[in-house]
Structure 1
């Protein structure tokens, strides 16, 4: 007998109605919105409690498997507020008990007085609280505010290294002012500002500085220079009053820049060498071998696609924020800066710092 022929199977596909598709779309949209809100809240919470700016530790040299670390803290570019990338590195090192010493890598012409002093203060505090030796490695330039922050080494011997081509020194203060009153006269423009007191506009570009105002401003600059000199003495104990900073045969606090050979002769640095020499010096101070430590550095956080995140300055390159930054740059302030155009400096993230 012939086997029965199987009957074909019928598959009925029920098409979704318009209403069903609408509610399905609403459901998926709501799910995605909730997921995005949850992720946003998570990121905001992490950002609120994050004190290190999301910087990432990277291997530099030494033993990759060693627990003991030497941390490289970088101060690069013009110094603005001081509370950005550099401060994040300091906080990261403070929280890491495996860090046994610090190499302070300075490549900066300086910047604002307040920002330079802020960085110096927190580096000094870190050194004292954690009892960590700091050895400076100067890059292309460590001048003015860059030299100021280098004094965080304290009285540690053989602690400042400069490369053969480093520019350093520039110990001094500048309070910028430009007088455009003559140009205004040529174009028949007059400053008719209403002031509560004549001294309210002491540094206005629209008028020359009267002698009595100039004396007040000079006293302010001199007071700031006195602090600069006292900070240099704390990091260079050999530079006493009679040995160069303000009295004696050589005055180093003139704003002059020096070559490494000159700086070593005058006692502004200890050795001419590279960052590897500074790392070895930290090991020597701590009684460690280079093969026993892992040298690390800290990079800014990557973006979603692996590229460095934009700095606050670049994120607000236009609009009201950029206008406020432009106005801020014209505010009267003193600088520890080796530059011919101090008020036009950018504070955009010493290396990516602020």
Structure 2
């Protein structure tokens, strides 16, 4: 092992020990203070005040940023990013909080996983039905595919005129190196238990039967997407299918097509909710995930050993891309 790797190993161990010690100390201190003062947090998340007002009459803003995928690391060296489970918890917290009378999601995402998008969608529906709270959507630069899927059940969707939205549909992709491997004398050895176990394999061409199997899956998921819009936007299925050919729309075009209710900014969306629900004196708060020591440590390690981290990330991307994973995702 060369000196560079020894140094990397020592730094990683030191960071690991620091993280574990920090967590233990935090747990002890928190436990002691709760026991001594019988103190309990009313909210799991840090809050910042966007607009002052009545603290018992609040509008909560949640930010949905990045690709919607449940890939948040539970390791000590977590570099941060979109955390799916954390976001679902934030939605649940906003729904349960009796001081929150309205929720605005700031959506800026090209979409993501089918399951993850459906989980957010279902949570929004649950908030409507169980807590009877309005959920508005404020679209950022991009709110496409899965980003529109999660927006569909909201009571009001507001986009900027230049927002890219739509991209309604499902996509499944993989790499295929069969021709390249054949030209360079590369052999693949595959041992499988069933005919379709290596479907979408990178080492051979896809068969017509395999393509039909995957297409039927995509068609089912596409049908679910269409139904979500039919239910959420109260639009005829035929009209939704005409709009759902995978293309993206600007915010202005989406409004003309009935996919968006109004055009405006985040501030406009807040003003609309206040007017629609007589919340003129409401305090507007923003949920924040807060400081995570794991994210700080992960970022530090990436700064120290960025090249090796990049290679690992590329390997993971190639491995995941080769799997038959359906996505509500806008790809350029």
Alignment TM-score, normalising by the size of structure 2: 0.77
Matched, 1:173 2:173: no
Say which SS state the counterpart of residue 201 (structure 1) adopts: coil
Q: 1:219 to 1:188 in 2, by over 3 A?
A: same
Contact map agreement 1:52 1:89 (CA 8 A) in 2: no
Mapping of residues 153-302 of structure 1, within 5 Å: 153=154, 156=155, 159-237=156-234, 239-242=235-238, 244-246=239-241, 251-289=242-280, 292-302=281-291
Q: What secondary structure does 1:89 align onto? A: helix
Task: State the SS of the aligned residue for 1:199.
Answer: coil
Corresponding residue SS for 2:223: helix
Q: Which moved more, 1:140-149 or 1:177-186?
A: 177-186
Cα distance per residue 1:203-261 (max 9 Å; x no partner) = 11111110011001000000000000111112110x2123x222xxxx11111001122
- Contact (CA 8 Å) 2:173, 2:321: kept in 1 or not? no
Which structure 1 segments of 5+ residues have no match? 1-34, 341-354
Aligned position for 1:60: 50
Answer yes or no: is the 8 Å Cα contact 1:142–1:168 preserved in 2: yes
Q: Write the deviation string for residues 72-114 of structure 1: whole angstroms up to 9, x where unpaired.
A: 1211111102633321321321331100011111010001111
How far 1:285 sits from its partner (Å)?
Answer: 2.9
Contact 2:112 2:329 in 1 (8 A): yes
Is 1:42 aligned with 2:39?
no
Change (3 A) 1:115 1:45: farther
Q: 1:18 maps to what in 2?
A: none
Q: Deviations over 1:130-170 (max 9, x none)?
A: 100011110001000000010131xx3xx111012100000
> How big is the shift at 1:45?
7.0
- The residue aligned with 2:17 is none
CA separation of 1:260 and 1:38: change in aligned 2, threshold 3 A:
closer
Alpha-carbon distance between aligned partners in 1 of 2:297 and 2:24, rounded to the nearest angstrom: 25
Q: Distance in 2 between matches of 1:187 and 1:324?
A: 21
SS of residue in 2 equivalent to 1:268: coil
Instruction: Give RMSD over aligned pairs.
Output: 3.1
Which one of the candidate residues 295, 301, 309 is aligned to 1:310?
295
Q: Structure 1 residues 312, 174: CA separation in 2 closer, same or farther (over 3 Å shift)?
A: farther
For residue 302 of structure 1, give the secondary structure of its aligned residue in structure 2. coil
Could you tell me whether the CA contact under 8 Å between 1:53 and 1:85 is conserved in 2?
Answer: no
Instruction: Give the structure with higher Rg (CA).
Output: 1
For residues 90 and 314 of structure 1, what CA distance do their matches in structure 2 show? Answer: 27
Gaps of 5+ in 2: 1-20, 33-39, 71-82, 303-308
Aligned with 2:60: secondary structure?
strand
Q: Structure 1 pair 37/144, CA: closer, same or farther in 2 (3 Å)?
A: closer
